[in-house]
Chains A and B, each alone.
Chain A
């Protein structure tokens, strides 16, 4: 038969009508809809196998244990290691965004000489020349690491000097160093056994010490109103996070912490609330009360409250002899639940001063907080991963960022026991970086490398046969049959914890009441770590919540 155009038309129309009753057009439309739902041009996460690894955070001296999720070799998520005895799985807020820091716009990507891009060889030549011409000062922010050993021995061999920029927590312990002769780096607080903690503006719940230690302790023993086993008394000039959560907040005038401490000491002694006899503070109770802006009766009441539940421990936010002296009056030094000595080591360090006279060169390790600004006409070699700006340094040398190098984690300041751990590298460096230690080794090859030092430290630990290793399971060091085994275990980011020293072997006598010092303002998460920048997420969240104002760091 002959097919007319009409037939074709009818057939087409029929086909179209019939098609509607098949899933085909609907499915097509739905696929179109799904396609329109995806925007290919917006950033997408990396592909690659997801693994979970262990390491430690080296962005501040606390060195918290991290559980790091990696994808395609890049860290993509941070969490705490719950098996770690010190952190118990807790971290500070910044740690959760730390893995993004390596891509921070302010990352130092190349060697820079007075702002101009330069090369490592030039820097090395310049430093070698400086060493040959005069004394060098090497500043470390975190002594006790393998890298510190390298820095110190370089200073020793090239008639330089090795100084340490200490954390506020350590500075608060310095008075005891001068009174007891024990290095502040071997002292700590026995928080776990204290029943009353008097904090003079120390941000105990807001960036002080290892978050997993005190925050956890407080949450378990003090939070809420149910007959607190641990009383946190916050003496501070403002309602800080710690103050708002404390069992009691004593609202004092700014800068009157010292007077308050002295006043309390006097009240304790006058009212015979303490057995320990010590030199009487020069300040009168009324003077202390008027200076700190609370009534005399309130001060007396406070003194009684403090000693109501011993053991009592007073904590300063920074170097403050009078608060330290209050501890002596309270008999907290060397006592159960007080200031304790955690190790036999007697490594004393010279604190770094901003003024550095007659030095030819100053080398600043990346562990030194950016805020430390040497005021010197020496040639400054600064190792840093992020450029905080606003600082004069002749050489800006790109150091490892977050988890970009192998390092070891010594004691956290204020910890009551001795610890040691190794933080493996988990993130591949994106450009040519060097740590100060590596740099010095390249200048003087006779120096031991970081790896060597770590190795010898492990052997030392093995031969001491003391302490316990906390990894997947808990093992006494004695159980290890070789130093290699121990090192291998530690390289899996396990933590060695020393045996707690017997109490009462720390003696402290006060000859006269120390002079008054104006305490420095307290810190918080945002100001206690080395990096001059915050994780972009932290900046964002501080800006978008009323928790606190975004800190005065450079922000993305």
Chain B
């Protein structure tokens, strides 16, 4: 078949056959190679991060992928088509003008209106100097209480939207917190300070578009109430009492008070882990 192979004679059959065969093998090889090359390309041009988030988002259960406007009651039912990226969502402005069917009763949790909330239970607080502060919201605080350990990024390190901003450990459970906004770390706090990171965002926070992808006002309540329902279901009836006291008060430090719950799932749901 090749030079120097004894006892082989070419026939037309060989030519047709081998052409087909090598065509097939070549196509397969090219497919794999191009897939690899594209992968490398994605990493070069920072699209990789975005791709990962999109892949994760696609695998989130539908309940986690509701559109903010549904949470606010502006539309009846809508699944977010572009991975919570309201910044360039053509429908955003169209729905934003609709009146919110507000359920703004107090949930016993402190969600101040000057903060912007991410679905992975972090808040962003824009400062005057154009930087932003990031922290865990009350809901997450009540679940975790005081973490056993916190692993924060170093000053000057870049963090990306929806990617892991910092990690925590509690009762042997790994918790990875998604970043609500992209930027450079300029200061690190911790559980005691009630904030975790100070960032210099990539974009100007005074531009309203910069924080548009985060929840505000009525959306927050719609979202939270759903989260609380979920939590109640997950912790189960017997533990309901300590979880949500009368009026639906969320008890602090749940991970220690309700040890028998399936915390893997709870945490995964809470922090949008796939």
Contact = CB atoms under 8 A, between A and B. Distances in A.
Note whether A and B contact each other (Cβ less than 8 A): yes
Interface of A: 23, 26-27, 29-30
Contacts of A29: 2
Interface in B201-238: none
A216 B3 CA distance: 55
Interface string B4-26: 11100000000000000000000
Contacts of A26: 2-5
A274 B5 CA distance: 79
A26 B3 CA distance: 7
A113 to B, nearest CB: 60
Quick one: which of A23, A27, A30 has the most chain B CB within 10 A? A30
Nearest to A27: B4
Nearest to A31: B4
A233 to B, nearest CB: 56
Closest 9 CB pairs of A and B: A26-B2, A27-B4, A23-B3, A30-B5, A23-B4, A26-B3, A26-B4, A30-B4, A26-B5
14 contacts: A23-B2, A23-B3, A23-B4, A26-B2, A26-B3, A26-B4, A26-B5, A27-B3, A27-B4, A29-B2, A30-B2, A30-B4, A30-B5, A30-B6
Contacts of B4: 23, 26-27, 30
Report, as a range, how many residues of chain B touch the other chain: under 10
A215 B4 CA distance: 53
Contacts of A23: 2-4
A23 B3 CA distance: 6
A23 B1 CA distance: 12
Contacts of B2: 23, 26, 29-30
Contacts of B6: 30
A29 B5 CA distance: 9
Contacts of B3: 23, 26-27
Nearest to A33: B5
Nearest to B1: A26
Contacts of A27: 3-4
Contacts, number: 14
A29 to B, nearest CB: 8
Nearest to B3: A23
A28 to B, nearest CB: 9
A23 B4 CA distance: 7
Contacts of A30: 2, 4-6
A424 to B, nearest CB: 44
A349 B42 CA distance: 108
Nearest to B2: A26
A29 B6 CA distance: 12
A180 B6 CA distance: 74
Nearest to B5: A30
Contacts of B5: 26, 30
A165 B2 CA distance: 70
A29 B3 CA distance: 11
Given A23-B4, A26-B4, A26-B5, 11 more contacts: A23-B2, A23-B3, A26-B2, A26-B3, A27-B3, A27-B4, A29-B2, A30-B2, A30-B4, A30-B5, A30-B6
Nearest to A26: B2
A31 to B, nearest CB: 9
B40 to A, nearest CB: 16
Nearest to A25: B2
A29 B4 CA distance: 10
A26 B6 CA distance: 11
Interface in B36-52: none
A27 B4 CA distance: 5
A130 to B, nearest CB: 68
A18 to B, nearest CB: 15
A174 B188 CA distance: 125
Nearest to A28: B4
A30 B6 CA distance: 8
B14 to A, nearest CB: 15
A322 to B, nearest CB: 68
A30 B2 CA distance: 9
A23 B2 CA distance: 8
A23 B6 CA distance: 13
A203 B4 CA distance: 59
A270 to B, nearest CB: 76
A23 B5 CA distance: 10
A29 B2 CA distance: 10
Nearest to B4: A27
A26 B4 CA distance: 7
Nearest to A30: B5
A48 to B, nearest CB: 28
A27 B5 CA distance: 7
B152 to A, nearest CB: 37
A30 B1 CA distance: 10
A459 B15 CA distance: 78
Interface string B79-96: 000000000000000000
A513 to B, nearest CB: 75
B38 to A, nearest CB: 21
Nearest to B8: A30
A26 to B, nearest CB: 4
Nearest to B6: A30
A30 B8 CA distance: 12
A26 B5 CA distance: 8
A21 to B, nearest CB: 10
B179 to A, nearest CB: 36
A308 B6 CA distance: 67
A243 to B, nearest CB: 50
Nearest to A23: B3
A27 B3 CA distance: 7
A83 B2 CA distance: 52
A24 B14 CA distance: 22
A120 B101 CA distance: 122
A26 B1 CA distance: 9
A238 B4 CA distance: 62
Nearest to A34: B6
Interface string B190-203: 00000000000000
B64 to A, nearest CB: 46
